[in-house]
Amino acid sequence: MLTITPDIEVLARFGRALADPIRCRLLLALREAPAYPSDLADRIGVSRTRLSNHLACLRDCGLVVALPDGRRTRYELADARLGHALDDLRTAVIAVHTDRTCTNAAEEGCC
């Protein structure tokens, strides 16, 4: 019997990754090009420690990969299709009226 549980878990993991603005900024930065942590920290304006924690989360979610590059580590999206998915999500969000408010804001994890 076919089950959709794995698909739901993947989407939930993706949603948790996108739930934090810093992780969103990281994903968008990596969508443009692979980068080193120090460059990413400077680019998005966070400490390297904080950035490291967010990169670890994105790695654990399977959204980014760390690639050794000599003595440094370079990060990139785990799959080029993630960049397209981010673009699709951004355009879908732009299409939603910005004056709409979430009616379930009291519910945990909602808007």
Concatenate the DSSP letters of all residues of the chain into one string. Answer: ----HHHHHHHHHHHHHHTSHHHHHHHHHHHH--B-HHHHHHHHT--HHHHHHHHHHHHHTTSEEEEEETTEEEEEESSHHHHHHHHHHHHHHHHS-TT---TTTTSTT--
Per-residue pLDDT, averaged over 85-104, amounts to: 70
Query: Over 90: is that where the pLDDT of 21 sits?
Result: yes
The pTM (predicted TM-score) of the whole model is 0.78
Higher pLDDT, residue 80 or 102: 80
pLDDT for the residue numbered 8: 85
Q: Can you list the domains of the chain with their CATH numbers?
A: 5-95 (1.10.10.10)
- Cα–Cα distance measured from residue 11 to residue 42, given in angstroms and rounded to the nearest whole number: 30
Query: Is the distance from CB of 20 to CB of 54 less than 8 angstroms?
Result: yes
Query: Over 90: is that where the pLDDT of 103 sits?
Result: no
